[in-house]
Chain A
Amino acid sequence: MMDVTQYVDAQNGYLHGEIFTNPEIYEQELQQVFSRSWVFLAHDSMLPKAGDFIQNYIGEDPVIVARQKDGSVAAFLNQCRHRGMRLARVDRGNAKSFTCTFHGWNYSIDGKLANVPHGDAIYDPKDLSDANCRRVRLHNYKGFIFGTWDHEAPDFLSYLGDFAWYLDAYLDRYEGGFEVVAFHKWVVPGNWKFNAEQPASDAYHAASSHISAIEARLAQAPQGEPQTKEALKRMEMLAAPVGNQVGSPYGHGAGWFTKGAPINHPVVNAWDESMIPHVSARIGAERVNLMAHANVFPTFMLLNNFSFRITLPRGPDKMEIWAWTMVPKCAPDEVKDVMRREVVHTFSPAGMFEQDDALNWEEEQHVLRGAMARRTPLIYRQRLGQARWDADGLPGKTAGHVFAEEGARMLYQHWLDLMSGESWDSMAAKKQAREHLERQRQQATNTQGALA
């Protein structure tokens, strides 16, 4: 196994671009990151009926996620056990079983081998005694189905840890949860981690990267109209940001503006405001404005405009983004439709904001072809050493500012832990030791402050 510690100094906030380009590191990520982590596979609303299935991936491994007759969900490697042919080649559908089109091996919807042509004549029963598709370990979290290959991985709730409090502020926000109304899939010529670190840690880019889209939306609305006020509020948020960022020992991260999510369509905004009492009753007044941009490590992302997405690694220099628009079930139809169209206009392949992001990642990747570029340290030191544990009534480790890189540093620290190949127990011990030390330092600083 390759030692990658030389490329990442998460504690001091420096990275080498080698981790975004090296094919050997990429192969190790498929083994150590994607084959061991919990990844988002499907939402309950994608699989309403028995036999409904979708295709997804864990890293580069194709998986089928299917609703079973008893209402449970099963997921398994989309690979025939005979020659490894892909079983399902459609994106979604409803199936009674899955038949490999190569030789006709047939599997039930939970991935168990059911029938083999001429089986009795050509196989001894023991040949096929262990011939089921490889199963994924699943956890259904509030309708969001996560899976991992790793039976040693911590249970999903432990994996989330304190981050659940932030994730829940989004997922529990509305009665009835969310439903999928649209999706987009597209390819970006950049490393998957560029995308992962953005919702986890980078609200900072918006004012520069997305200036054209923000201004185009601002310029259009006549003065005094709600849309203009909203757009101005958004500009103000970026110019004088008030907010926070949280990082997690397991690599999750989120950032939010304390004065409210920068949703700037008047219809969505008016509805969201009307929902404040409802939301407040569900998640508490302190979390009403905590609808964050977030990333659950490695690549389950929530944007605060109802875009939920995953990033699939496709080689060191390519990623695929799969994004589902999931709207609150309890919203009126006309509001749901505005939410759906807003994602099309902003964060989708043709979205006015999304295009700017893809350009950044493509150019970062292009520059990193250079040997000198790969070994020139990149600076991840925003608000280094200023994050606090359990500060201001917020669980976990928060940075005290929406523009910070604590989320990214913790993401890369966890990435480094995983890439070392050590056991989850050993990783947990290291994480606890780091946290303990930081809490001690924090305590010492507080005491000094009190004495002074």
Chain B
Amino acid sequence: MSAPQHLFQQLSHFKVSDVGVQTHHDIEQFYFLEAELLDTRNFEEWLSLFSQDVRYWAPVRENRSVRDYAYEIAPPGGAALFDDDHASLTQRVRRMLSGRAWTEVPASRTRHLVTNLRAFRVPDRPQDYDVETSICVYRNFGEKNEDWVIGKRFDRISRTDESGTFNISRRTLVLDMATVLPTNLGLFY
């Protein structure tokens, strides 16, 4: 058995997009739309971008030695900041829209920046793409509070029709922090 490897060190990531210009454009537009839905607080519409069997997962990271670097990111089933399915994402959306989620009363001002997009074909699944993006999510709330979350997303998306819409069936969100520095991770990323 080969030694475990840190998610970022897996060789499969060291390649360029192989989906062609049009598909790359379609995927990029899809992510820009997703960001817009979140920043305009259209959370139910945002949720509709995910498949019913979605796994939305953000493993915890920690400070480990060079020898233990593979474990810098917690494995599936270990420590996670998000470990959600469609039902629990729905709860989160419902909470956000309740008007009584006090962290969002008054509503925060957010901007989801999505960059460094690379998309890859999935063998034997012509409708599917594995997409890596970097995100910076800025939040400004209350009188003068602000914070930001920076990280990388690994998504599996599927084209749902010819017009270029997709849905997301898997999102792995690796945030660039060990100790969580914002007061909460109360947004969607």
Contacts and interface: CB of A to CB of B under 8 A. Distances in A.
B88 to A, nearest CB: 5
A359 B87 contact: no
Given A186-B180, A220-B87, A181 B103 contact: no
Interface in A219-249: 219-220
B151 to A, nearest CB: 13
B103 A91 contact: no
Interface string B67-110: 11000001001111111100110111011001111110000000
Contacts of A189: 183
A187 B102 contact: no
A349 B68 contact: no
A184 B79 contact: yes
Contacts, number: 119
A99 to B, nearest CB: 12
Contacts of A181: 78-79
B82 A216 contact: no
A349 B63 contact: no
Contacts of A337: 77
B35 interface: no
Contacts of A355: 101, 103, 183-184, 186
Interface residues of B, number: 40
A350 B185 contact: yes
B184 A358 contact: yes
22 contacts: A90-B64, A91-B178, A93-B68, A181-B79, A183-B60, A184-B60, A184-B81, A185-B179, A187-B180, A212-B101, A216-B95, A219-B94, A320-B179, A337-B77, A341-B83, A344-B84, A350-B58, A350-B82, A350-B185, A350-B186, A352-B95, A355-B101
Contacts of B80: 182, 341, 344
B21 interface: no
Interface in B162-189: 178-186
Given A185-B180, A211-B98, A350-B82, 4 more contacts: A211-B100, A344-B81, A350-B81, A356-B102
A408 B65 CA distance: 41
Among A189, A354, A356, max chain B CB count under 10 A is at A356
A371 B166 CA distance: 55
A89 interface: yes
A92 interface: yes
B18 interface: no
Interface string B36-50: 000000000000000
Contacts of B180: 184-187, 349
Contacts of A184: 60, 79, 81, 180
A327 to B, nearest CB: 12
Given A91-B178, A350-B82, A220 B63 contact: no
B146 interface: no
A217 B179 contact: no
Contact of B60 (A90, A182, A212, A215): A182
B78 to A, nearest CB: 6
B53 interface: no
B79 A183 contact: yes
